[in-house]
């Protein structure tokens, strides 16, 4: 059996819908709490895109961002099957890695809320590689974790393509299997 599994966080283990929900809330809070003009918000979005963390970072409003995000994470849910899959792999002695584009503080908020940090041997966020999930990110993770032939589980096609490029096994949620509950293990 493969002894290393790598999981994406948002959309694979936890509901990523919260980010779409907080976008208008963040924009309104920037106007109301931080007194940022719509023009400055539009200019910032043009520079960094619609990623709420990047917008708030650029506008020196990360404190507000994390306060709002925490409320949405508290109301968020694990993707069905998450606990069962993590428990099964951990019981088998599998090395489990969390590989996320998210920032460490965001990752830790999710792990604490859902009490799943105990399942991961390595937690790898974008600060660990100095970048989002680019070639460099995956190459640094491979070297740091001494990866040989892991299985990468993600809902994000870009993660799957990066893994395939390295000759790793993949499980693309929504394509190879519909949900985590549909994953078949060698003895199944």
H/E segment holding residue 172: strand 169-172
Query: For 144-148, which contacts have Cβ atoms below 8 Å and span 24 or more sequence positions?
Result: 145/4, 145/95, 145/97, 147/4, 147/6, 148/4
pLDDT higher than 80, residue 170 = yes
Residue 87: its pLDDT value, please? 96
Q: What percent of the chain has pLDDT over 90?
A: 79
pLDDT higher than 80, residue 185 = no
**Mean pLDDT, to the nearest integer, of 130-145?**
87
**Mean pLDDT, to the nearest integer, of 157-176?**
93
Q: Per-residue pLDDT tens for 9-20?
A: 999 999 999 999
**Mean pLDDT, to the nearest integer, of 30-36?**
97
Q: Give all domains of the chain, ordered by start, each with its CATH number.
A: 4-14+77-182 (3.40.50.1000), 17-75 (no CATH)
Kindly state the tokens that stand for 183: 């994953």
Q: What is the mean pLDDT of the chain?
A: 92
| Residue 188 pLDDT level (bands cut at 50, 70, 90) | very low
């Amino acid at each position: 059996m493969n002894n290393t599994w790598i999981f994406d966080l948002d959309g694979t283990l936890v509901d990523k819908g919260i980010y779409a929900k907080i976008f208008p809330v963040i924009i309104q809070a920037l106007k109301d709490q931080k007194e940022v003009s719509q023009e400055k918000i539009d200019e910032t979005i043009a520079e960094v895109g619609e990623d709420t963390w990047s917008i708030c970072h650029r506008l020196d409003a990360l404190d507000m961002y994390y306060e709002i995000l925490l409320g949405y994470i508290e109301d968020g849910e694990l993707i069905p099957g998450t606990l069962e899959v993590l428990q099964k792999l951990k019981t088998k002695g599998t090395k489990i890695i969390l590989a996320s584009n998210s920032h460490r503080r965001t990752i830790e908020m999710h792990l604490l809320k859902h009490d799943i940090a105990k399942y991961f041997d390595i937690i790898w966020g974008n600060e660990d590689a100095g970048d989002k999930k680019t070639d460099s990110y995956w190459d640094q993770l491979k070297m740091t974790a001494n990866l040989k032939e892991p299985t990468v589980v993600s809902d994000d096609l870009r993660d799957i393509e990066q893994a395939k490029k390295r000759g790793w096994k993949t499980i693309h949620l929504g394509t190879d299997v519909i949900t985590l509950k549909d994953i078949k293990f060698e003895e199944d």
